[in-house]
Structure 1
Amino acid sequence: MRRFRLGDVECDEEDEAFQGLVLQAHGSKVRLLCLCRPSGIPMYIADIGSQLVVKRMPLTGGDHDPTCPSHEPPYELTGLGPLVNTAIKLDASAGIASLKLDFPLSKQTGSRNGIATTHAADSVKSEARKLSLRSLLHLLWHEGGLTEWTSRWTGRRHWWQVYHHLSQAARMMEIRGESLGERLYIPEPFRADDKAAIEQRRAGKLSGLYQPSEGRKKLMLLIGEIKEFGSARSGKQLVVKHMPGFRLHLEEAGWRALQRRFETELRLWESGQDGHLIAISTVAGSAGGLATVNEIALMAVTGQWLPMESVSEQRLLDHLARSTSKSVKGLRFNLPRDQPIANAILPDLKPKPMALYIVPAGADATFETTLRDMIAARPDLSAWVWRVAEGDLPSLPGLDEENYRSTGPSRSPS
């Protein structure tokens, strides 16, 4: 349970006076302080679907006490570590993360779409000091809290939560002095009885696509769940859920490159029963009102909306999804697949948190050496390693059968 202070007033988050404290902090635009540390850690108030939620500031999870629910696992165990203070810089006073992107948000008028799926390492050339398209999606997923899970949230995470948490995360980031939220469109949950208003808001958000300025076209970012890749005379039409009647055109060369680069993600999506396929793309508009994909990256997620990059990782996440113990999914960001990461972390495990690592079949000696160094560098964490070539998923110490549940009528994560 977290305890907070506003001015001279302190209370726990389950106290009757807590909501009043949150309302006061939100109305006066004053930071609540999390008292897991004596000096207090600044927090901000997010409006998540008309519900006020206390959230940690971007990239401050490591400042919280390890026993605090706002604490985050070590960044250096995932691809986020190399990006902090390089591609991602936090303005502590404003609580805003400034981002350096490795892809353009404008293009020369008349130029062809530069589909960036052809690069081997990522959707764009992977540069550690800048965020690729995939890395930006990972960052938003991470800061939105969508990497966290416990079975108590079963049945409580839907596109409504994904939309609101991603939107809030984007509002806490900026690119070249402009709010990321202004350049990012995420389709709001569609409701037939509000169809006209939703389409009007969408048209207003995307209107800048069709207004070239000084010989350049503005590009917008779009994050959505793929419903299908529809047929077209050339290439494909991307059908995005919650955007009925709206189509994104992907050129034939881009479609071929997408199938090569994201073969694993596409197969995970096609073979799963309850998984989802998330796309992040830069979108261009034409004078005729058409919307086309300029660059694109894909991410497969489980039925709990947890990112996965292999069948082995999918099996691990399905196992963790049944446990009441909290798990945090590690993300790769810019790192290539031949480098190890902590695929997940169990932060509440006793006597100390546990990092979970998967060694894929065919991993070389360099992979194993790097993994040993990662484990040795964090003696404060126990380590669980699954070497896929050696057999099936090993048991997870500390996750006994009594920790599992099939349902969990509890509130969704914030």
Structure 2
Amino acid sequence: MRKFLIGEQAFDEDAPELRARLEQAYTHNVRPLCQCKDPPLPMYIARVDGLHVIKRMPLSGHRHHPTCPSYEPPYELSGLGSLIGSAIHIDANGKAALRLDFPLTKKNVRNTPALSTHASEAALRNETKKLSLRAVLHYLWEAGELTEWRASWTGKRGWSRVRASLLNAALQMTAQGDPLSDILFVPEVFHQEDREGIAARRAAALAGAYASRPGPRKLMVTVAEVKEFAAARVSRKIVVRHLPFPFIIEEGTWKRLGARYETDLELWRSSEDFHLIMIATFGISDTGIASIEEIAMMVVNENWIPFESVHEQHLLERLSRLKRKSVKGLRFNLSREQPVVSVTLPEQRPAPVAMFIVPPGASEDFENALAEMIDTIPEITPWIWHVTEGEMPRLP
């Protein structure tokens, strides 16, 4: 059980008086301190489903004690490792400053929208030290603790909770020097009885996406669940859930989207339980048409955990029934030709476990890079599934 220090007062995680104290601390911007180590580690307070919840600061999981629920294994196991200190800078207040490799403005001339930098292209450029659009989506997912799962959460994570987690994570980030939360739009769950309130909040949130003056126009970023793709007169429409209007994407970009994200789209279409998440930069014309500039996608399972193959989903399905916590590793800018941890089990004893999947056709370079990664983290116990050698090995 975690213990927190708020001001001069210490609280157990299940203390009845903690809820009221968190409300006060949230109002006055007071940071709780996790006492799993000495000196204590700063945390922050988020508001989720009407409740105040204590969350770890960005990129601080590896600093917590291994027995602390806020602990995460070293980020060097995922694609995040190569971005720390270059694409992501953490300041003294725990804010993450993001360096992006895509623009947040557009000149007032007709440009062809583009897909976000593909992972293999980034690898050919020796892993750009800026965040691709996909990497921003991965970082929001990780910072929002949406990569974590345990069986007791079954049925308790829907889009409302996903949205709150993403927005709370964005409050701890800046992009191009400005708060990411100012330009991030995540559709609110639609409720018929509150349609007018939802419409008013949506209009206020989207105000910055409209072209308002001469010169470069500002773009916004949206994270949303794709409902369907539909044909338009000379373009395509992406219909997302909880929004009364579609996003328009040009035909050429649509064709490249289908080719680049063929694997994700195939996985999404294979089961009604899966969700397709898009992140896109967009603007809204004077006529009210929302047009996508750049886009990236990610498929997630019924628990909103990202995965990239049927083998990885099989592993996640097995782990989802366990009481212990699992944490999904993400690629960020890395290509599929480079190894990353699939899942970590941080609560496993005597040491946390890092689970790797070696896909069919993995090269010798892949195997060597995996062995080198494992050697650099001796405090972690490796678990490896070579898919071509047969069924999944026994779980730890």
Deviates more, 1:366-375 or 1:227-236: 227-236
Stretches (4+) displaced over 4 A: 117-120, 122-127
- The offset of 1:22, in angstroms, is 2.0
Q: Distance in 2 between matches of 1:103 and 1:263?
A: 22
Equivalent-residue separation in structure 1 for 2:100 and 2:123 (angstroms)? 10
Q: Which residue does 1:352 correspond to in 2?
A: 351
Is residue 5–residue 35 contact of structure 1 (8 Å, CA) maintained in 2?
Answer: yes
The 1:260/1:123 distance shift into structure 2, 3 A limit, reads: farther
SS at match of 1:46: strand
Q: Does 1:252 align with 2:265?
A: no
**Aligned-partner Cα distance in 1 for 2:122–2:227:** 20
Q: What CA distance in whole angstroms lies between the structure 2 residues aligned with 1:118 and 1:380?
A: 34
Aligned residue runs from structure 1 range 202-217, under 5 A: 202-217=202-217
C-alpha distance in structure 2 between counterparts of 1:211 and 1:107, whole Å: 10
Q: TM-score, normalised by structure 1?
A: 0.92
1:47-58 → structure 2 map (5 Å cutoff): 47-58=47-58
Counterpart code for 1:360? P
- Indicate the residue corresponding to 1:306 in structure 2: 305
Q: Which moved more, 1:313-322 or 1:110-119?
A: 110-119
TM-score by length of 2: 0.96
Q: Report deviation, 1:211.
A: 2.2
In the other structure, the counterpart of 1:376 is: 375
| Alignment partner, residue 165 of structure 2 | 165
Q: Does the CA-based 8 Å contact 2:122-2:128 persist in structure 1?
A: no
Match of 1:106 in 2: 105
Match status 1:362 vs 2:371: no
Q: 1: CA distance between counterparts of 2:178 and 2:167?
A: 15
Whether the 8 Å contact between 1:58 and 1:143 is mirrored in structure 2 is yes
| 1:402 match | none
Is the 1:134–1:333 contact (alpha carbons within 8 Å) kept by the matching residues of 2? yes
In 2: Cα distance, 1:67 partner to 1:278 partner: 33
State the match for 1:40 in structure 2: 40
- More deviation in 22-31 or 262-271? 22-31
Shift of 1:139: 0.2
Give me the whole-angstrom Cα distance separating, in 2, the residues matched to 1:345 and 1:69: 13
Q: Confirm whether residue 141 of structure 1 aligns to residue 150 of structure 2.
A: no
Cα distance change, pair 391–181 in 1 and its aligned pair in 2 (3 A): same
1:8-407 counterparts in 2 under 5 A? 8-92=8-92, 94-117=93-116, 119=118, 121=120, 127-243=127-243, 245-397=244-396
Structure 2: which amino acid aligns with 1:121? S
- Structure 2 distance, partners of 1:109, 1:389, is 52
Q: What is the CA distance between 1:212 and its match in structure 2?
A: 4.2
| TM superposition shift of 1:120 | 6.0
Using the TM superposition, give the Cα deviation of residue 308 of structure 1 relative to its aligned residue in structure 2, in angstroms.
0.6
Equivalent position of 2:7 in the other structure: 7
Distance in 2, Cα, partners of 1:229 & 1:276 = 14
Q: Which amino acid aligns with 1:10?
A: A
Partners of 1:297 and 1:70 in 2: CA distance: 29
1:117–1:124 Cα contact (<8 Å) kept: no
- Residues 83, 130 of structure 1: 8 Å contact kept: yes
Give distance in 1, aligned partners of 2:175 and 2:90: 12
Q: Give the superposition deviation at 1:362.
A: 0.4
Following superposition, the deviation at residue 327 of structure 1 comes to 0.3
1: CA distance between counterparts of 2:115 and 2:28? 44
Contact 2:123/2:335 (<8 A) preserved: no
Cα deviation, residue 119, structure 1: 4.4
Q: Aligned partners of 1:124, 1:240: CA distance in 2, in Å?
A: 31
Structure 1 unmatched runs, 5+: 398-414
Task: Deviation per CA, 1:298-336: give whole Å up to 9, x if none.
Answer: 000000000011111111111111111210000000001
Gaps of 5+ in 2: none
User: What is the DSSP-based 3-state SS (H/G/I as helix, E as strand, rest coil) of the residue aligned with 2:120?
Assistant: coil
**Structure 2 letter corresponding to 1:136:** V
Q: Is the 8 A contact 2:360 2:387 kept in 1?
A: yes
> What is the root-mean-square deviation in Å for CA atoms of aligned residues?
1.7
1:240-290 Cα distance to aligned partner (Å, 9 max, x none): 0011x2111111101100011000110010001301000000112223221
Query: Could you tell me whether the CA contact under 8 Å between 2:274 and 2:299 is conserved in 1?
Result: yes
The DSSP-based 3-state class of the residue aligned with 1:281 is strand
- How many residues are treated as equivalent by the alignment? 395
- Report the Cα distance in structure 2 between the residues aligned to 1:192 and 1:25, rounded to whole angstroms: 34
Report the identity percentage: 46
Q: For 1:125 and 1:214, how far apart are their aligned partners in 2?
A: 37
* Per-residue deviation, 1:175: 1.3
Counterpart code for 1:235: S
Per-residue CA deviations over 1:152-208 (Å, capped at 9, x if unaligned) read: 111111001101000100111011221101111000111111112212221222223
